[in-house]
Amino acid sequence: MTLILLHTFIIMAIRNYESSESSNNNGNSNVLGYQITCSCMSVSSSVCMQYNCGITAQQASCFAGASLITLADGTFKSLADVQIGDQVLVNKNNTIEPITSFIHAKRQGLFTFLALQIQSVVSNLSSTILVSANHLIFDYDSGEARFAGKFRVGDRVQFIDNSEIVPGEIVHIQLTKQQGYYAPLTPSGTIIIDGVVASNYATVSNHALAHQLMGIYRWWIDLVGGSKWSEEIPWMLQIMLSIEQVIRWFGGQVLIDSYV
């Protein structure tokens, strides 16, 4: 019975993928992309304390091209200049891993991001991460990854200060337009972006399960090589995400959740 259901899921997922490809060829937007629309819900001293963000299927953005990663030698490099094979910092233990692929990327065009201004609670170090609302970053207090659009002013993220993870308090949130978008992939599924511990993943709400599912894709890129500047999410990953959509249709809302 399980095999029959799995077979059904895969067939429906492939058909859903083929349908989305047909729509794309007709000039419609990629069904796996997202457009962020946010409005301010709470203002204090002329500062927006809380955004209410909605996401429609238009264009995924993940991280802006101006976002900075930390290289093995401690220097910084913008995502717009990162190449597959670059050795980058991925977590608090000074672990260095290669960029193995880009889930998707686009150099040209302006895209909407949340700009989360982060302040270390142990020093004067601060940073601003430019991230789409549907991308996962790590909460300091719970240790879990949450959609960026769920964070509010006063919440604390995992922030790298002097090679250690410390609470990084969100002191300001605003919307911004930035050039290009990039979604880098590392073996561990995490990466330090603008000093913040971030997941490689978006759209799905559970980082650990997303990382397990992505094991199939990692095996694939080990065989055929990683994607460099493709604007579209790779076909194998689209099928995997479509399988998740099929599971949702059957009531199994395990991975996909609201972004805000």
Q: Does residue 161 lie in a domain region? A: yes
Give the helix/strand (H/E) hosting 24: helix 2-25
Longest CA–CA span in the chain (Å) reads 60
Give pLDDT tens digits for 48-68. Answer: 766 666 544 344 568 999 999
Give the helix/strand (H/E) hosting 4: helix 2-25
Q: Does residue 257 lie in a domain region? A: no
Q: Does residue 138 lie in a domain region? A: yes
Total number of domains constituting the chain:
1
Q: Which domain holds residue 70?
A: 33-244
The structure's pTM equals 0.71
75: helix, strand or coil: coil
Q: Does residue 8 lie in a domain region? A: no
pLDDT at 43: 73
Contact (CB, 8 A) for 248 and 256: yes
- We report the CATH number of the domain holding residue 51 as 2.170.16.10
- Tokens coding 217: 């894709």
E-strand ranges in 90-163 read 96-98, 101-120, 126-131, 135-138, 145-147, 156-161
Give pLDDT tens digits for 120-143. Answer: 999 999 999 999 999 999 999 999
